[in-house]
Structure 1
Amino acid sequence: MKSKKLIIAAMFIASAVRGGAQSLPYQNPNLTAEQRAEDLLKRLTLEEKTRLMMNGSPAIPRLGIPQFEWWNEALHGIGRNGFATVYPITTCMAASWDETLLEQVFTTVSDEARVKAQQAKRNGEIKRYQSLSFWTPNINIFRDPRWGRGQETYGEDPYLTEKMGIAVVRGLQGPDDAKYRKLLACAKHFAVHSGPEWNRHSFNIENLPARDLWETYLPAFKALVQKAGVAEVMCAYQRIDGEPCCGNTRYEQQILRDEWGFKGMIVSDCGAIGDFWQKGKHEVSKDAASASAKAVLSGTDVECGANYKRLPEAVKAGYVNEADIDICVKRLLKARFELGDFDADELVEWTKIPESIVACEAHKKLALDMARKGTVLLQNKNGLLPVDRKATEKIVVMGPNANDSVMMWGNYSGYPTRTITILQGIRRKAGNVKYIQGCQLTKNEVENSRYSMIKSPDGQKGMKATYWNNTNMEGEPVTTAYMREPINLSNGGATVFAPGVNLEKFSARYEGLFTPDQDETLTLSIGCDDKARVILDGDTVINRWKSRQRIDYQQVKRNFKAGKTYTIQIDYVQENDMAAIQFDLTKKTTPTKEQLLAETGDAETVIFVGGISPRLEGEEMKVDEPGFRGGDRVSIELPQVQRDLMAMLHEAGKKVIFVNCSGGAMGLVPESQHCDAIIQAWYGGEQGGDAVADIIFGDYNPSGKLPITFYKSADQLPDFEDYRMAGRTYRYFHGEPLFPFGHGLSYSTFSYGSPKYDIKNGILTIDITNTGTRDGEDVAQVYIRNTADPDGPIKTLREYKRVALKAGECGNVSIELPRERFEVWDTKTNTMRVVPGTYEIMVGNSSADNSLKKIKVKIK
């Protein structure tokens, strides 16, 4: 209560100051943000400055400084802050190759963010995920498909990532000519980061070739700083050449600030400063005070964590001067003034956005548009797709992802007001087609959840969750919530279980009432780290009440009688490090081949919806499944049980349409043989089910293009921990991919003429003809190669353009390709520049050589 009173007092003082005479310079909205920050800085004590430098920045009532939270998420929609529009996962949006649409998406995201920030302000307390600084976009290069967080990126290509990242920043931060910034966007993770997840707190990248650094890993960051004016950059966990990224003077000071002129803020990844000194991690500092000093001196302005509490001690010890801290504090104050955080709402245009826009129908329509454009048709043998609606009685839907709504959300998601699963999308088009689960993602089992039959003690859907910020379930709960889906929570990526709940040292109780409608034997399943127990009708049926126990899974079967009401209680305690809990109540069976074929009956076509799931791939996860490690994948092949099932269906004479759900590339060699059609659906967001159905039944002509290479297997790749680009991505991979970067089929066909290049005006022109019978869109992709550089990329994307053509129409397409697009690595000067010489220009609708038309030009 004391904390809330201080917040309200600060808001009262700030309101009084805003409403009265402007007596101090920092209170004057007519001064620049720079001038106001300079004035306010002088009035702060060292302890107050320190508090402002941590992600949960408390109010300072004596100066009218309101509370602020730097840590908010908006990877593909507002994350972890109640209901919001959930757009497709990032790789899906990258597959649209449509930065104009992407900027529209993130303009709606910033609208919803401003509304939620206003709601939190009115409530008198701003919790995590409720403020105006958003740690997105992730512009790391998806260099290896095994990386579980690759789904958060815009693919493997630096230029496509740059274009998409700029669009995100512009959508979030608002127009350049606005008086106040709409939000603060953040380019992450700087620099050279793309897994592995299991060792990122101790991993050191050594001897990275300068070419790879400047040609692949840094261009998107430079572009977002210099072209988009991104407000924040987040430093990564790992070390580069022995120095942690968040304490790396070369990267933060010399490159980011001195060479690129970045004037914004650098924020740490969550817990990254603690990695400097904690045993078993980087261990480059002796304690929190010296680690904090190292980070500040390198230029890290805000810490996500609690080490910066020791900065006063670091000053006293002589590790850092207060003047060094002032540099950081001035930057963060300036950013808050640019948001209008200290000014009256009537002065800030973004505070007037109506609450009705949150998760509104217009935003849902945009989510559908993006899911349609980002869904990629990989294979379509004999034109099986689109499916004739008249033949829907001969269709069966099968597969573990068909009716999974949570899978559709991807990671770092918000909570949609409704989700259209792929099964629901198909049924909305084709009626009540039959569904057979067939298997789980990795096991030859079928689990039918009974969780939807559980109600809370007060009659709400699902189980009631009560949280305490202690490990004893004592005192006043910090919050309550309702778990309407089977419980699946973790603090991976420093994620709290619910707003206001600690990351560590907390406890929870989940309560529900279950009334079965038939007699049956069901399985209660629990997975957790640290303590948990499952209590059924007062009896403890699963007991994991041991301290510091690693994540593990236990199950117990019990007989249930129809009509009887059973009480289910789960107690959970988190003590240190990893926090995780999963719970479900299921009916488990193992179907035989004969049973599955009997269930499919005389169906001619099976739509198999499989792949993997955010439950298996993601950020620093603990997954007890073969083929997965720490959120990453050990191999990229589809789980064997799914392979076997589709092979069985093929051998039985069924036509198989495989809808693959994953955040990254999959090795689908057998599937390309056993399946007539393959659709890459990614994690399609709340409207993804309708998008897939629209494509299957021909209501939308697919146009998505892969932003990553689909290899045949991980055997084609170098070691995961090798950050050199040799042998990776379409730019350096000399093998034969299964599906190349830029690939994506349509129900139309497109023919490309010979390109012409006007060197003087920097314009490329090419005739493109829709040779099909349907109107459609294609993405014209322009690649270049420096013919005098045998060690350079095989080809590298330098521009692209979406082209809409009616059936039979020929369009003369103009694409801007100015001289600066020919910037490459100069081996003589070890710099990126336009090297005069002969270049090959390649134009087509994928990166595959046989789809490209080529010309050579001389650049002076």
Structure 2
Amino acid sequence: MVLLKNDGLLPFKKDPGSIVVIGPNANSVDALVGNYNGTPSQPITVYAGVKARFATSQVSFVEGTGWVGPPLEDVPDAALCVDAACTKPGLQAEEFKGTKVTGNPVASRVETNARVAWGTPTRVERAGAMRWTGYIRASETGAFNFRYSGESGYRIWVDDKLVADVWDIAWPTSDTDIELKAGQAYKIRVEAMQKGTRGDHRLQWSQPGSSDSLALKAAQGADVVVFVAGLTARFEGEAMSVKAPGFSGGDRTTLDLPAPQQKLLERLHSAGKPVVLVLMNGSAMSVNWADAKVPAIVEAWYPGGEGGQAVAELLAGDFSPAGRLPVTFYKSADQLPPFADYGMKGRTYRYLRGAPLYPFGYGLSYTTFAYGKPALSKTALKAGEPLELSVDVRNSGSRDGDEVVQLYVSRQADGAPIRSLKGFQRVHLKAGETKKVSFRLDPQALSIVNAKGTRLVPAGTAQIWIGGGQPGGVKPAAGVAATVKVSGQKVLKPY
């Protein structure tokens, strides 16, 4: 988790009187886990985490917008009926033992909606599943998107078309919109499986006429707005079918926030209340407008099953953030070479000549750090010799915290990167405390790869930087520089 910007809003000095948590990732379990993961048994969304941590505050949730389209709302009972003529309201509900919706149901009944409130599960209840069938009628014509809220695995069919498949969030999921005509009855089938968590689970849809008015009204009545935006694994990944501006399948054609989220963020900011932007995503985001306008930005990535609690504790100041960016956040995709160009020129912090939005290795803290003069075992060495160095790091702030001490090496040679990270250490320092941090650079750390593909340690100067991030740039980090002269040249054997 990385604190990208903080104009004094964080940590909250005291519990705000009222907090509204807004955004498509605010109460989303999908946004907690990303891809290649297990299924969390007791997930804590950002909304749930904020509500629990700020128990003395009035905390509310409004989705406000979808990821790439309008927000989703509960499907009203009046829109559902058992028969095609809609003479009988409700849906046919079937209950199954086990998570596979196959065989004969253990119970069957008519219910007003596809809705269930699973309580704290026992081992038996955890293996339950439901199926609802019937018809649905929209009150307006246009494109609709469907979802079954909560932490259940689910599938939804409309007119026998699979429009949502989120049976197991540990695997790739999908959803697609469908055109509905006002007043016309369409077959609908919803299947849901108990995932082992309590809460209400409801059938929802996005309507063509949906707006962000509810989110704006909630923001105007709150002391603080936490806007949880970004992506989920449904929108970034391999071999996917995402049909929205800014996407090409599972690839992104822009690094910006999806347009509906950006629009709502700007409107929330204009309401005049403090806004914390929490990003949940698996790749870099070009949040240039937010960097200029929003007082606090947190990069939470896909933080895991209890990630919402971690976000809330960061906002409260229960710990001083010490995450650092493992990738470069570019100002836009225009800073990168064309997608079909596989060369490294212009890519990553090692070869990017322009100024990024947030550099690799960047991250803020609730305290500050200062670096002493570095001590080197040698200021001149022969190619192939190792180098040992150390530096005193002091917590110059008023609270305890971790510093991530990073060591970068620059070699002035044809084809060499601008700089390369050659070591890092996380060190915990109490307020006012100083610790010595030591590194050992082997010949590999001082080497380059020439145009012939040979790895060697060239003669010349090696520029070394030790600090809390990269040197210079638009967001410089505290640190110190050192210079070592290398004589001779040594070709290194491959590992």
TM more than 0.5? yes
Tell me the residue number matched to 1:834: 457
When you count strand as a share of all residues, which structure comes out higher? 2
RMSD of aligned alpha carbons? 3.7
Tell me the residue number matched to 1:441: 67
Write the letter of the residue equivalent to 2:227: F
Which deviates more from structure 2 when the two are superposed, residues 653-662 or residues 599-608? 599-608
Structure 2 CA distance for aligned equivalents of residues 687 and 454 of structure 1: 34
Tell me the residue number matched to 2:36: 412
Write the letter of the residue equivalent to 2:373: S
Match of 1:853 among 452, 459, 480: 480
Query: Deviation string for 1:17-46 (max 9, x for gaps)?
Result: xxxxxxxxxxxxxxxxxxxxxxxxxxxxxx
Q: Structure 1 384/514 Cα, relative in aligned 2: closer, same or farther at 3 Å?
A: farther
Contact 2:64–2:211 (8 Å) recurs in 1: no
Tell me the residue number matched to 1:764: 389
Structure 1 CA distance for aligned equivalents of residues 251 and 262 of structure 2: 20
By how many angstroms is 1:558 displaced?
8.6
Structure 1 CA distance for aligned equivalents of residues 91 and 227 of structure 2: 29
Alignment of 1:453-532 (within 5 A): 457-458=94-95, 464-466=100-102, 512-513=131-132
SS state at 1:390 partner:
coil
Tell me the residue number matched to 1:542: 159
Alignment of 1:263-342 (within 5 A): none
Structure 2 CA distance for aligned equivalents of residues 515 and 771 of structure 1: 65
Structure 2 CA distance for aligned equivalents of residues 741 and 454 of structure 1: 53
Q: How many residues are treated as equivalent by the alignment?
A: 408
Whether 1:395 and 2:19 are equivalent positions in the alignment is yes
SS state at 1:660 partner:
strand
Tell me the residue number matched to 1:782: 407
By how many angstroms is 1:820 displaced?
3.0
Structure 2 CA distance for aligned equivalents of residues 586 and 716 of structure 1: 38
Contact 2:45–2:308 (8 Å) recurs in 1: yes
Tell me the residue number matched to 1:614: 233
Match of 1:715 among 320, 329, 334: 334
Contact 2:466–2:481 (8 Å) recurs in 1: yes
SS state at 1:457 partner:
strand
Write the letter of the residue equivalent to 2:6: N
Tell me the residue number matched to 1:385: 10
Structure 2 CA distance for aligned equivalents of residues 484 and 418 of structure 1: 20
Structure 2 CA distance for aligned equivalents of residues 466 and 837 of structure 1: 72
Query: Deviation string for 1:215-262 (max 9, x for gaps)?
Result: xxxxxxxxxxxxxxxxxxxxxxxxxxxxxxxxxxxxxxxxxxxxxxxx
Tell me the residue number matched to 1:221: none
SS state at 1:433 partner:
strand
Structure 1 CA distance for aligned equivalents of residues 303 and 75 of structure 2: 23
Q: What's the % identity of the aligned pairs?
A: 37
Match of 1:586 among 190, 205, 212: 205
Structure 1 CA distance for aligned equivalents of residues 407 and 255 of structure 2: 29
Q: Which has the higher contact order (CA 8 A, sep 6+)?
A: 2
Tell me the residue number matched to 1:291: none
Structure 1 CA distance for aligned equivalents of residues 176 and 46 of structure 2: 31
SS state at 1:779 partner:
strand
Tell me the residue number matched to 1:740: 359
Structure 2 CA distance for aligned equivalents of residues 609 and 428 of structure 1: 17
Q: Structure 1 427/833 Cα, relative in aligned 2: closer, same or farther at 3 Å?
A: same
Contact 1:380–1:676 (8 Å) recurs in 2: yes
Structure 2 CA distance for aligned equivalents of residues 834 and 776 of structure 1: 37
Structure 2 CA distance for aligned equivalents of residues 709 and 455 of structure 1: 52
By how many angstroms is 1:802 displaced?
0.8
SS state at 1:458 partner:
strand
Contact 2:160–2:187 (8 Å) recurs in 1: no
Contact 1:779–1:802 (8 Å) recurs in 2: yes
SS state at 1:642 partner:
helix
Structure 2 CA distance for aligned equivalents of residues 699 and 429 of structure 1: 10
Contact 1:511–1:567 (8 Å) recurs in 2: no
Tell me the residue number matched to 2:287: 668
Query: Deviation string for 1:131-182 (max 9, x for gaps)?
Result: xxxxxxxxxxxxxxxxxxxxxxxxxxxxxxxxxxxxxxxxxxxxxxxxxxxx
Whether 1:655 and 2:274 are equivalent positions in the alignment is yes
Contact 1:438–1:591 (8 Å) recurs in 2: no
Tell me the residue number matched to 1:190: none
Whether 1:688 and 2:307 are equivalent positions in the alignment is yes
Write the letter of the residue equivalent to 1:702: P
Structure 1 CA distance for aligned equivalents of residues 233 and 397 of structure 2: 37
Match of 2:439 among 794, 815, 831: 815
Query: Deviation string for 1:525-575 (max 9, x for gaps)?
Result: 579xxxxx987xxxxx61459xxxxx9642547989xxxxx995479xxxx
Q: Which runs of 5+ in 2 are unaligned?
A: 78-89, 104-113, 117-128, 148-154, 163-174, 192-201, 379-384, 488-495
Q: Structure 1 679/394 Cα, relative in aligned 2: closer, same or farther at 3 Å?
A: same
Tell me the residue number matched to 1:327: none
Contact 1:776–1:807 (8 Å) recurs in 2: yes
Structure 2 CA distance for aligned equivalents of residues 543 and 753 of structure 1: 68
Structure 1 CA distance for aligned equivalents of residues 311 and 211 of structure 2: 29
Write the letter of the residue equivalent to 1:801: Q
Q: Which runs of 5+ in 1 are unaligned?
A: 1-374, 468-482, 486-509, 528-532, 536-540, 546-550, 561-565, 572-582
Tell me the residue number matched to 1:211: none
Q: Structure 1 675/534 Cα, relative in aligned 2: closer, same or farther at 3 Å?
A: closer
By how many angstroms is 1:456 displaced?
6.6
Contact 2:70–2:207 (8 Å) recurs in 1: no
Whether 1:635 and 2:259 are equivalent positions in the alignment is no
By how many angstroms is 1:692 displaced?
0.8
Q: Structure 1 450/778 Cα, relative in aligned 2: closer, same or farther at 3 Å?
A: farther
Query: Deviation string for 1:611-636 (max 9, x for gaps)?
Result: 11111101211112221112110110
Write the letter of the residue equivalent to 1:542: D
Structure 1 CA distance for aligned equivalents of residues 457 and 61 of structure 2: 57
Tell me the residue number matched to 2:466: 843
Contact 1:457–1:464 (8 Å) recurs in 2: no
Structure 2 CA distance for aligned equivalents of residues 617 and 589 of structure 1: 24
When you count helix as a share of all residues, which structure comes out higher? 1
Whether 1:793 and 2:412 are equivalent positions in the alignment is no
Write the letter of the residue equivalent to 2:159: I
SS state at 1:377 partner:
strand
SS state at 2:481 partner:
strand
Structure 1 CA distance for aligned equivalents of residues 96 and 160 of structure 2: 27
Query: Deviation string for 1:498-541 (max 9, x for gaps)?
Result: xxxxxxxxxxxx9613799xx997998579xxxxx987xxxxx6
Tell me the residue number matched to 2:321: 702
By how many angstroms is 1:455 displaced?
10
Q: Structure 1 587/664 Cα, relative in aligned 2: closer, same or farther at 3 Å?
A: closer
Structure 2 CA distance for aligned equivalents of residues 764 and 455 of structure 1: 72
Tell me the residue number matched to 1:353: none
Contact 1:448–1:588 (8 Å) recurs in 2: no
Tell me the residue number matched to 2:165: none
Write the letter of the residue equivalent to 1:387: F
Whether 1:646 and 2:270 are equivalent positions in the alignment is no
Write the letter of the residue equivalent to 1:784: V
Alignment of 1:161-310 (within 5 A): none
Contact 2:64–2:214 (8 Å) recurs in 1: no
Contact 1:657–1:678 (8 Å) recurs in 2: yes
Structure 2 CA distance for aligned equivalents of residues 557 and 414 of structure 1: 39
Tell me the residue number matched to 1:320: none
By how many angstroms is 1:822 displaced?
1.3
Structure 1 CA distance for aligned equivalents of residues 92 and 251 of structure 2: 35
Tell me the residue number matched to 2:125: none
